[in-house]
Amino acid sequence: MNPQAHPSPTGRFPLQRLAAAAALACGVLLTACGGSSDGTPTPTTTSLSQPDATADSANATSTGNDTASALDTVIDTTTALTQATAQAASATSERMHTLSAGPAAAGVTNVTVDCAGGGTATLSITGGTAASELNGQLDAGEHYSVSYAQCTGQAGYAQLNGSVEMDVTSADHATSPASLSVSLTVANLALSLPAGSATLNGTATVSRSVAEADGTTTTTSHVTVPSATLVTAFNARSGSFTLSDLDATRTLTSVAGIVTASQYAGHHTLSGSANGRTFSLNVATTGNTSYDATGALVSGTWTAVRPHATIATTLANGTVVMTVDDGNDGTIDHTWTFTAAQLNAAAG
């Protein structure tokens, strides 16, 4: 409204001036009017609440790491099963040889194996020779079909249920660090974690190197997931997500086979629903997020971008600092500080 204008004798603006004032206000307040200068509708920006922002941030960071962790666990557990199968076959062969019946050489087809940390798995190996399939390692050209039943590879590994089809595309066990590349299809693969469970369906590739020095093993995995679904049950809540375009690196440190810490860095797109809310996020870490021996998040920085808000989170020394840019206009509208426990409790 023009402060210099005078009302008409009736106490009202002339219709032309009222229309002009309305047009000017709409031009200045495009968001409120629901349009842009070219007539394109502009969504109304609403303020993101702290509980919703915290839930989005928690789900953003947990889904990427949990997916990479599940795939790493599949490879490690399947390797342990292959080694156990080879040892059992070797013992049988020795017994047969002692009985002068000749060595027992056969492939691995629907063999039930006891998992080192409890549970069982049914394993089939094809694509190699009888000897290579029983050498206790994953070799290029081999295909593994595995069904897990409450299977834990060894202490420090998460429990697995479900099935996987895995092709070994390359393997070099002779050099240091050793290297391995696989492609996987997982079906209802449930990973039991300290905070709950995550069930994965989809395809992925993993390329990894394994280096050993001074009693410490460092496993670095580059993980890509074009598309997958992830169903979680954390903190007495459930979530259903579609995860795509995941490209990440996960580094796992272990001593004497016991996991001591891990790190994760990467990006992915996440959409779905959790705790009665629906959302769509583009997620990326800044450097590494770090996890302790139990898989609990201990530090890191990451960003989750919604269509109309950007959530930036930093965790250090048990304290979370989270900022929100409502409208994605580069202006910080909220800054909240709270404990890591509150962040972890918001996942799911």
45: DSSP letter: P
Tell me what pLDDT residue 92 has.
54
102 located within any domain: yes
pTM exceeds cut of 0.85: no
322 located within any domain: no
User: Cβ contacts of residue 228 below 8 Å, gap of 6+?
Assistant: 67, 186, 200, 201, 202, 203, 204, 242, 243, 244, 246
Q: Which tokens hold the place of 111?
A: 């063999």
Q: pLDDT tens, 8-44?
A: 444 433 333 333 333 333 333 333 333 334 444 444 5
63 located within any domain: no
97 located within any domain: yes
Tell me what pLDDT residue 95 has.
41
What average pLDDT values come out for the chain (348 residues) when binned by 10 residues? Answer: 40 36 34 39 70 94 92 93 87 45 62 93 94 93 96 80 97 94 97 84 97 95 97 87 97 91 97 89 97 92 97 98 97 97 90
312 located within any domain: no
22 located within any domain: no
239 located within any domain: no
Return d(Cα 184, Cα 207) in angstroms, integer.
11
304 located within any domain: no
Return d(Cα 188, Cα 231) in angstroms, integer.
9
Q: Where are the beta strands (DSSP E) in the chain?
A: 108-114, 120-126, 143-152, 159-172, 178-193, 196-213, 216-234, 237-255, 258-274, 277-285, 289-291, 297-306, 309-316, 319-326, 334-339
Return d(Cα 270, Cα 60) in angstroms, integer.
7
| 3-class SS of residue 295 | coil
Return d(Cα 300, Cα 64) in angstroms, integer.
14
Range of the domain at 148: 73-193
Return d(Cα 338, Cα 316) in angstroms, integer.
11
Tell me what pLDDT residue 348 has.
80
Q: pLDDT tens, 83-139?
A: 999 988 776 544 433 444 444 445 799 999 999 889 999 999 999 988 889 999 999
> What is the torsional sign of CA 262, 265, 266, 270?
positive
Tell me what pLDDT residue 276 has.
85
Q: Count structural domains, the chain.
A: 1
